[in-house]
Amino acid sequence: MTDYKAAGVDIEAGDEAVFRMKQYVQSTFNTHVLTDIGSFGGMFRFNFPDMADPVLVSSIDGVGTKVKIAAMMGKYDTIGADLVNHCIDDILVQGARPLFFLDYFASSKLVPSVAEQVVKGMSEACLSAGCALIGGETAEMPGVYVDGELDLAGCIVGLVDRPKIIDGSKVQPGDALVGIASSGLHTNGFSLVRKILFEDNDYKVDQYVPELGGVLGDVLLAPHRCYLKPVMAVLEEFDIHAMAHLTGGGFYNNIPRVLPIDCQVTVERRYWGVPPIFTLLQDRGNIENSEMHRTFNMGIGMVLVVAAHRAMDIVAKLQECGETASIIGEVHKGGREVTVI
């Protein structure tokens, strides 16, 4: 007899996965959440009387082929945190704080323990940020996804008071760029990383690499940093003209997104230390400097554009919050270009 399980979809495994996830998802709920896990739609009560003109800010993203490193290592909790933190940072650049998050988890064959690890990582990241994980989709799709691997994406909705939206309109020549350190690769560039390290240079994911001071897979899976708390602390005291989250496209593609049409920036590499993973990749892959700064964050995960006379105070505040930060460049008159020297 033919049934759904014989076709590759195990409903019982799906039920088990939901059972395993439930405690983690529920841990993120707050008084705004009106539905429990398993509802057809997640309900979130919108009531923010402290805001003059509340505006919703949304974003959707994934963690790319970093999921392949997770599969190689058999370690899945960090990519859940990666996904949430990446999405939080994307809406943070406009001054928004997260309200709720939804995820999409898909694989050829659903392994409940793997789904549990991923959702556990998501819930911990959501809980840390005060963000509710109110729903998601767990899809088992044999024939679409490669056996033993998975795909992961997430959608976030946040909130900002309209008078406090950060849109780059205040940026002007003479402003300074403050860079906040990344924890490594974050969630972009992994297709190139895998080609350089595993295809061209025969590294093993469980190999100890002296130049990195650790196991390669552990370094590659270092979670994407969430900048919510330090940036919000800065926003309470200082006027931030613009922010850029350095994800896919690195310096050259992300910083121009927040610049006025008549401004450009110069970034000086000598002002921060590049983590060893980037040096290893550049050396083993024989990659040009421009390509490195276009593909990777090179050790800077978030860039703040601020008035020059407040830049050092902002750096000090970030350091007080436990972040590694420094002034890394300056705004000039020009045409939305980035020069790295």
Domain span at 16: 11-164
Residue in 200, 147, 340, 337 with CA at minimum distance from that of residue 261:
337
53 and 78, same domain (yes or no)? yes
- Residue 200 DSSP one-character state: I
Domain boundary among 143, 164, 185: 164
70 and 210, same domain (yes or no)? no
How many whole angstroms separate alpha carbon 288 and alpha carbon 259?
A: 25
Domain boundary among 164, 191, 221: 164
How many whole angstroms separate alpha carbon 109 and alpha carbon 116?
A: 14
Structure confidence at residue 330 (pLDDT): 98
Is residue 1 one of the residues assigned to a domain? no
Structure confidence at residue 199 (pLDDT): 97
Structure confidence at residue 188 (pLDDT): 93
Structure confidence at residue 150 (pLDDT): 92
Is residue 170 one of the residues assigned to a domain? no
The first and second tokens of residue 336, run together, are 């939305």
59 and 199, same domain (yes or no)? no
Domain boundary among 117, 134, 164: 164
pTM for this model (two decimals): 0.93
Number of domains making up the chain? 2
CA atoms within 13 A on the CB side of 310: 15
Is residue 202 one of the residues assigned to a domain? yes
pLDDT in tens, the chain (341 residues): 555 565 455 667 767 877 777 887 788 888 888 888 778 888 898 888 889 899 999 999 999 999 999 999 999 999 999 999 999 999 999 999 999 999 999 999 999 999 999 999 999 999 999 999 999 999 999 989 888 889 999 999 999 999 999 999 999 999 999 999 999 999 999 999 999 999 999 999 999 999 999 999 999 999 999 999 999 999 999 999 999 999 999 999 999 999 999 999 999 999 999 999 999 999 999 999 999 999 999 999 999 999 999 999 999 999 999 999 999 999 999 999 999 99
How many whole angstroms separate alpha carbon 107 and alpha carbon 141?
A: 6
- Indicate which CATH number applies to the domain containing 154: 3.30.1330.10
Structure confidence at residue 94 (pLDDT): 98
70 and 213, same domain (yes or no)? no
Q: CA angle, corner 307, sides to 301 and 313, nearest 5?
A: 70
114 and 152, same domain (yes or no)? yes
How many whole angstroms separate alpha carbon 122 and alpha carbon 295?
A: 25
Q: Which contacts (CB < 8 Å, 24+ apart) does range 41-45 have?
A: 41/135, 42/100, 42/102, 42/134, 42/135, 43/134, 44/99, 44/100, 44/132, 44/134, 44/157
Cα dist from 6 to 1, 2, 3, 142, whole Å? 9, 6, 5, 11
Q: CA angle, corner 58, sides to 54 and 61, nearest 5?
A: 160
- Residue 273 DSSP one-character state: P
Residue in 279, 285, 69, 283 with CA at minimum distance from that of residue 192:
285
332 and 190, same domain (yes or no)? yes
210 and 132, same domain (yes or no)? no
Structure confidence at residue 5 (pLDDT): 62
Structure confidence at residue 6 (pLDDT): 52
157 and 273, same domain (yes or no)? no
